[in-house]
Amino acid sequence: MGRRLRTHVHVHDADGRTHVFGPDDDVPDWAAERIGNPKAWADDAPADGPEPDADDTDENSEPPRSGPGSGEASWAAYAAARGIEVPDGASRKDIIAAVDAANAEQ
């Protein structure tokens, strides 16, 4: 059994379909990876889910583009970790555009 949720959450799969998971559900790995709000998980959740790669930290993984974890601070930290310069006061939208531009140059 994977991690347990504290509350009900809505998760979109790769095809855009919405799935609802709650405290009594087994959360599949694909859905657990998309639930970015740590407050959604029960404190007593077993840690036998998939282990993240050593390089797969929050600042090394692109934040979600919507939902929990998709805010300006997450994107700013991600851009900074990648060495992408963004102007002071840049909006979330501006930061994402800068990241997308940097990705296109690679």
Place of tokens 């095809």: 15
Q: How far apart are CA 102 and CA 106, in angstroms?
A: 7
Beta bridge partners of 62: none
Residue-level pLDDT at 44 = 52
CB 42 within 8 A of CB 23: yes
Residue-level pLDDT at 51 = 40
Q: How far apart are CA 33 and CA 63, in angstroms?
A: 11
* pLDDT at 101 > cutoff 60: yes
99: left (phi over 0), alpha (psi -120 to 50) or beta: alpha
Q: How far apart are CA 89 and CA 61, in angstroms?
A: 22
- The identity of residue 63, as a single letter, is P
| Structure confidence by residue, pLDDT tens digits, 36-58 | 888 888 865 444 444 443 333 34
Q: How far apart are CA 91 and CA 95, in angstroms?
A: 6
